[in-house]
Structure 1
């Protein structure tokens, strides 16, 4: 029995060897396939975490933009309100009304006669117009007088003007002030989005470089700010550069709005100048007049709007950049030997500039140049037009419609109800009543809590898409170009990590994510 078993094993030993080899190969192939599946799952999980972290960074950045705009807007509002003192004109009209009533009362006492009905009706009409304006004003003349008495400061003497001149000044001043604030809010929103998204992108890229250089096996993008031996400095993500870059919003808040208000004033005088404050205006005609003002400011055609340059309103010329840094407190002791502009990256390490050092000048110069390019780009004008459409529509179709024309707010009406639209075409309101609403809304635009105009801007989907494009632009150029150039000298393997599969994979994931964001936001 044993001998027969041995003979059978010897006859089939080849078959046993082949079978064992097949089983071993199948086992190894299975283990290899399982390891590849596990690796793919891990890579998909890490990619999903990276995209989610990037999306969270982006959304947080947009919330920071909104908070920053609301924090900076009161500065511009204070300057605009000071430049266009509507309340002072209202006070002059109030004084003229009181003097006229006093003279009328004195005449009655002296003659004991009954006055005629003609002048009385005219006086009553003026009184109702002024009362309507005062009731809609944000700051009453009595409050202004009280504030002057509290501060003890005498109001500067104002030249004597007739009643007609005062009403005309009131008309131009109130409309110009409100429109200037709408333009300033829209421009400040776009400028802040550009600034913070550029810095957010560079902060993200710095974290990618740090992550790839620390652990190529773990490409997860963290939200923490990683500082690694100058990697932050490579992308201009140092605190001093960021502060100087954000400081350039000072130009719009203190200088640029003046350029805006000059253009708005000329357009308002041309369009609204011939109108009488007692004139009845249909809502449709008012909308047409406002649109005509916008055409004169922004351009009447699409080509004119595209060719309009908004850069001088938002950023200073190079010979004024040092002034901005000095006025904002970033340059405490400017040297006479220093140039008056932030130069291009210096060719030698000993070159000096208005910035603290040549190392910080290059990234700041690059940020300013990229900001200027974005402002001059066609998408900027398109998004700005959408923001202005939204803010002017809110002023006309919501605030003026409900307060001056006494019509229901279209946003709160049932969709099946079409009769109010017919009533809107027939409804009329005196220009004086409209001016009262416009005066009140000027304060709501600049200091409203909550700010309905800023909320309306947040509802513009294209604004978030524009921010997503800024945030995702030049990812591969900055990560694979700048990082390789700046870090090639260091023998730490960082360049290989950034330019290798890990860095390129993260960059590709980020770019794909923001392409998807653009499609979702715009609906394309």
Structure 2
């Protein structure tokens, strides 16, 4: 029996060997497949966590941009209000009115007829109404006029300057009121874009530095650690040191103190050319006012889309020329006047990339959309309801409201000026700024920020990670593989793509959300 069993096994040993091999191969294949499935699940989990982390960082970055703009905008507003003192002109007009009233009372006491004073009052009725509106809308109290004449305050009275006529004062107030509101719109739009470029560049580089530190081998063992401040240092290469970030952000000083005044000069010239022939006593329709506003914008921005893209003239308002960079750093308190300032390589890279972004056609495109939003709010909403008395569109369709054609609505230009002055202050306000809120509703602004945040990840990853013979992007440790993948893809765009294609993909992503 035992011998028969041995013989049977001997005769079938080949079959047993083949079966064992098949079972072993099947087991190994199953283990391999299970391992791959587990690895894939782990990678997907890492990708999901990394994407969520990156999304939170990006959204927080945009909120930081909003708070930063609101914090530094009043600086530019103060400079513009000081350069275009509309309230001072109103006080001079009020003073002329007081002096004229005093003279008319004295003259009427010795006159035999009241006809001259009655005629004068009829002639000045429109101006009086406009000045009263200016007094209420521009926050000018009547006591300021009395105080300026009684106290002889040199800040309110300028005896050295030649006295201007009433017509000159009204023309000056017309140009200053309109130009001030328009200048603040341009300043707000440019500041919003500049701040988003700065904070998203820093946010991208800081995020990249944190990922690189995770992907790099740790050196926490005992020994001597030498500080490396050269370009091959990860944090310094990515601009993740505090001093570089502070200096880079301080370059907004140029727009707040110099660029906004250059913009103001250009706006004043355009407003003078377009609105100069308009009489403040004449009626003007809302359609006519919109047409004049568009004419001013064409002279400043360009008449066509091709002109706006080709000129790319906003860089000089946002960043100083290289010869003035040391001056900006000293004026902003980043270096002493005696210190010889020169931009470090990380700071130089940040400034060069910022210049490239500002000079891109997409910057001009997004800026135009932001300006469209702000000017639409100013003309079609604020002036339409406050000056032309066009009732706002009711959100409730069941509510019955008066139907008024905005194109045919009329108002005196002098009545519009107080609204321009009041809205100018609101545009430059650092608290609950509805013009900034309206700009942030433009979906291309978030798309532009997403492109800035993610467009150059591949370029920045390749050099520091692979440049020193360490780990490359292709053989990153599995624990950080998901983070590196999400880092490359960014919040809205894919990997390995140019700025142009990234812009298109970001917009498509936004279209999918809406």
Q: TM-score, normalised by structure 1?
A: 0.85
- CA-CA distance at 1:51 after TM superposition: 1.2
Q: Deviations over 1:23-50 (max 9, x none)?
A: 3322222122111101110011101111
**Residue 381 of structure 1 pairs with residue 364 of structure 2:** yes
2:194 to 170, 191, 199: 191
Provide the rounded CA distance (Å) in 2 between the counterparts of 1:150 and 1:237: 56
- 8 Å CA contact 1:311–1:375 kept in 2: the answer is yes
- 8 Å CA contact 2:454–2:489 kept in 1: the answer is no
Q: Deviations over 1:348-378 (max 9, x none)?
A: xxxxxx14xxxx7111111111111111111
Q: List gaps (5 residues or longer) in structure 1.
A: 216-228, 339-353, 489-494
**Residue 394 of structure 1 pairs with residue 398 of structure 2:** no
- 8 Å CA contact 2:465–2:471 kept in 1: the answer is no
Distance 1:5 1:151, change over 3 A: farther
**Residue 263 of structure 1 pairs with residue 266 of structure 2:** yes
Q: Deviations over 1:87-121 (max 9, x none)?
A: 01100111111111111222222235322443221
Counterpart position of 1:500: 475
- 8 Å CA contact 2:252–2:318 kept in 1: the answer is yes
- CA-CA distance at 1:125 after TM superposition: 2.3
Counterpart position of 1:449: 431
Q: What is the number of residues matched between the two proteins?
A: 482
- 8 Å CA contact 1:445–1:451 kept in 2: the answer is yes
- CA-CA distance at 1:433 after TM superposition: 1.2
- CA-CA distance at 1:313 after TM superposition: 0.6
Provide the rounded CA distance (Å) in 2 between the counterparts of 1:498 and 1:25: 34
Provide the rounded CA distance (Å) in 1 between the counterparts of 2:402 and 2:448: 36
Counterpart position of 2:445: 463
Provide the rounded CA distance (Å) in 2 between the counterparts of 1:148 and 1:446: 30
Q: List gaps (5 residues or longer) in structure 2.
A: 219-231, 494-504
Distance 1:318 1:10, change over 3 A: closer
2:250 to 247, 266, 290: 247
- CA-CA distance at 1:505 after TM superposition: 6.5
Counterpart position of 1:521: 510
Counterpart position of 1:178: 181
Counterpart position of 1:512: 489
1:317 to 318, 321, 344: 321
- CA-CA distance at 1:132 after TM superposition: 1.9
Provide the rounded CA distance (Å) in 2 between the counterparts of 1:194 and 1:144: 45
- CA-CA distance at 1:398 after TM superposition: 1.1
**Residue 476 of structure 1 pairs with residue 474 of structure 2:** no
Provide the rounded CA distance (Å) in 2 between the counterparts of 1:143 and 1:155: 9
- CA-CA distance at 1:232 after TM superposition: 0.9
- 8 Å CA contact 1:326–1:334 kept in 2: the answer is no
Alignment RMSD: 2.8
Counterpart position of 1:223: none
Distance 1:324 1:423, change over 3 A: same
Provide the rounded CA distance (Å) in 1 between the counterparts of 2:217 and 2:280: 70
- 8 Å CA contact 2:43–2:482 kept in 1: the answer is no
Q: What secondary structure sits across from 1:76 in the alignment?
A: helix
Q: What secondary structure sits across from 2:216 in the alignment?
A: helix
Distance 1:145 1:234, change over 3 A: farther
1:236 to 231, 234, 239: 239
Counterpart position of 1:62: 62
- CA-CA distance at 1:330 after TM superposition: 0.9
- 8 Å CA contact 2:86–2:173 kept in 1: the answer is yes
Q: Deviations over 1:487-515 (max 9, x none)?
A: 44xxxxxx215453457865543343431
- 8 Å CA contact 1:129–1:278 kept in 2: the answer is no
Provide the rounded CA distance (Å) in 1 between the counterparts of 2:449 and 2:57: 12
Counterpart position of 1:329: 333
> Which protein has greater RCO, CA pairs closer than 8 Å, 6+ apart?
2
Q: What secondary structure sits across from 1:270 in the alignment?
A: helix
Distance 1:233 1:79, change over 3 A: same
Which shifted more, 134-143 or 289-298? Answer: 134-143
- CA-CA distance at 1:197 after TM superposition: 1.0
Distance 1:305 1:523, change over 3 A: farther
Provide the rounded CA distance (Å) in 1 between the counterparts of 2:54 and 2:46: 12
- 8 Å CA contact 1:213–1:497 kept in 2: the answer is no
Q: Deviations over 1:267-305 (max 9, x none)?
A: 111111111111111111110010000011111122321
Counterpart position of 1:43: 43
- CA-CA distance at 1:472 after TM superposition: 0.9
Which shifted more, 282-291 or 102-111? Answer: 102-111
- 8 Å CA contact 2:138–2:418 kept in 1: the answer is yes
- CA-CA distance at 1:183 after TM superposition: 0.5
Provide the rounded CA distance (Å) in 2 between the counterparts of 1:363 and 1:143: 52
Distance 1:380 1:279, change over 3 A: same
Which shifted more, 498-507 or 66-75? Answer: 498-507
- CA-CA distance at 1:8 after TM superposition: 5.1
Provide the rounded CA distance (Å) in 2 between the counterparts of 1:67 and 1:512: 27
Provide the rounded CA distance (Å) in 2 between the counterparts of 1:409 and 1:89: 31
Q: TM-score, normalised by structure 2?
A: 0.87
Counterpart position of 1:403: 386
- 8 Å CA contact 1:138–1:439 kept in 2: the answer is no
Distance 1:35 1:484, change over 3 A: closer
Distance 1:323 1:447, change over 3 A: same
- CA-CA distance at 1:234 after TM superposition: 2.0
Provide the rounded CA distance (Å) in 2 between the counterparts of 1:251 and 1:210: 34
